[in-house]
Structure 1
């Protein structure tokens, strides 16, 4: 068994090297896995499954080919692409998962999630998250013309970047009590998440038998977590290796 987990690729038309690197990853490393899990923020921004952006079509084709080769792909929404829904998932032949999923791997329970819900010290972000995840607001947004949706998304992203300038690293990182609460509730011995862009594998304080594996972003290189017979491994690699 070999499972791959990625997150925070942040694909967009302005970053062609990242797109090329991710497609190369799908054609090489991902083909050697038994399954691929994408834990959110596959795209830098997502304004609806009806967006005809050619980039989205290219990624859908690459993911569908992966499925045709017998490697299933699973997706958990991130904070950037929380509006990605069943229409696009079907085009990719990937399975949508809830925001928190437990995998039973032999005797090991693994909980996977994007990770933004763990950053509970960032009160402003959590308040914003609760607001934009309201069903009525998401439906209202998706009724708007694409051009207006893109304008709103760009404005929100710019405001977020300005707000983050004044936040400390501690505020933007996960809260340990929130992590422990999820681990205890799910009975998992391993947690895998992204969002914080701080790749590492942390040994939990409880008994040194629990681990929190954090995925890196794909700004300058690829990042993945691999689970196989050797255990849980953080893998980082150049885009075209």
Structure 2
């Protein structure tokens, strides 16, 4: 049975805007310099009026205090994102890897935070934006984990630990996640009934999300659909990076990996 539909936030944009790009699942870290470079080049050149990053911008985020070390990868990346933000508006929605991004990140980058899900309207087009992980209902262990780590008391306990302790635990958790991923024959996908319920509540026909790394278009009941974003990796083959350009007349996939 689909989970209860969460509150739906709204992103109001200027009436003269004609395009907003959506990207997700870049999983930035120090081991992926080409991916970071591609992101910065894209942000410097996109003709869109704004960009929405729908989660998993970073491979892991253990807390905003990581930015206190100016030499850290996170601090250096955020300084570069700050420069990109001076060119155009950028929004960020939490993913399953970087759900601890908070006000410190927003201050450092100038990037505004979006609730999940959020309704975006461009002209007559209404787009429902989400990271997508909350809709993968068949993955019961993950949904239990997600509920635990999104709870304020868990986050308070986590952040009370030293930065070194959190980084070590994050590495262990990532290792467990990778082992579990390889052990599963098939990852749970977005639940179609739940996606339809979210769209009905939002008064929208199209859901845009990431998380699954399976870029595609899926038909839903009642003429609705969901558009799945690409993940990014410019450091390994096959190289991949896409933006989904949402406009006043429809959506267009923009290939950014040279393929």
* TM-score calculated relative to the size of structure 1: 0.91
1-structure distance, mates of 2:185, 2:249: 36
* Selected match of 1:45 from 60, 67, 75: 60
Tell me the equivalent position of 1:231.
250
State whether residues 74 and 95 of structure 1, in contact with CA within 8 Å, keep that contact through their aligned partners in structure 2. yes
- Stretches of 4+ moved more than 3 A in 1? none
Q: How does 1:52-67 map to 2 (within 5 A)?
A: 52=69, 54-67=72-85
Q: TM-score, normalised by structure 2?
A: 0.85
Structure 2, unpaired ranges of 5+:
1-17, 234-238
Residue in structure 1 matched with residue 10 of structure 2 by the alignment: none
Say which is worse superposed, 152-161 or 36-45, in terms of deviation. 152-161
Q: Is contact 1:26–1:62 with CA below 8 Å preserved after alignment?
A: no
Once the 2 structures are TM-superposed, how far is the Cα of residue 88 of structure 1 from its aligned partner?
Answer: 0.8
Q: Does 1:113 align with 2:127?
A: no
| Long gaps (5+) in structure 1 | none
Say whether 1:149 aligns with 2:166. yes
2:222 is the alignment partner of 1:203? no
Superposed CA RMSD: 1.7
Cα distance in 1, alignment partners of residues 103 and 204 from structure 2? 28
Decide whether aligned partners of structure 1 residues 235 and 95 sit closer, same or farther in structure 2, where only a CA change above 3 A counts: same
Residue matched to 1:214: 228
Within 1, Cα distance between the matches of 2:80 and 2:45? Answer: 11
Structure 2 distance, partners of 1:80, 1:159, is 13
